[in-house]
Amino acid sequence: MPTYRYHCLTCKKRFELFMTFQEYGVKPVVCPACSSEKVERRIERIRVMKDDAARLARMADPESLSRIDDDPRALGKMMREMESGLGEKMGAEFDEVVGRLESGQTPEAIEKELPDLSSGEGGFSDD
């Protein structure tokens, strides 16, 4: 049975009622504290889940993309969000690179320290 939340306009108390869908809008609602019928339904905040298209659109925002050129941490954050959006782990090499970006290391420095990644042996390639 759904829970409906109300507040009394007379005594200002908040309360909840359990009603079936058939009862809602038909059954009179009365404040249990003061018996007033002057009540108003409270609508709680809701959380909206963003779909994949909305998430990708946010990541493709030109302002967000311009930050990744200058800030390795922003690039690392974006890469973590992309991995999360895929719903699967990308592997140890991905985690190594993203961890270095998140700590502020530049892509150029990472490439110098981990040359196998740019050669394609580590799963990344220029193709």
Find the mean pLDDT for residues 34-59.
77
More confident residue, 59 or 19: 19
Find the mean pLDDT for residues 25-51.
86
- In angstroms, the CA 51 to CA 55 distance is 6
**What is the pTM (predicted TM-score) of this model?**
0.45
Contact of 6 with 37, CB cutoff 8 Å: no
Domain boundaries, the chain: 3-42, 52-118
Name the band, by pLDDT with cuts 50, 70 and 90, for residue 119: low
Number of neighbours of residue 88 by Cβ within 10 angstroms: 7
Helix (H) or strand (E) holding 15: strand 14-18
Residue 56 scores a pLDDT above 70? no
pLDDT of the residue at 125: 41
Find the mean pLDDT for residues 9-24.
93
Residue 90 scores a pLDDT above 90? no
**R_g of the chain, CA atoms, integer Å:** 27
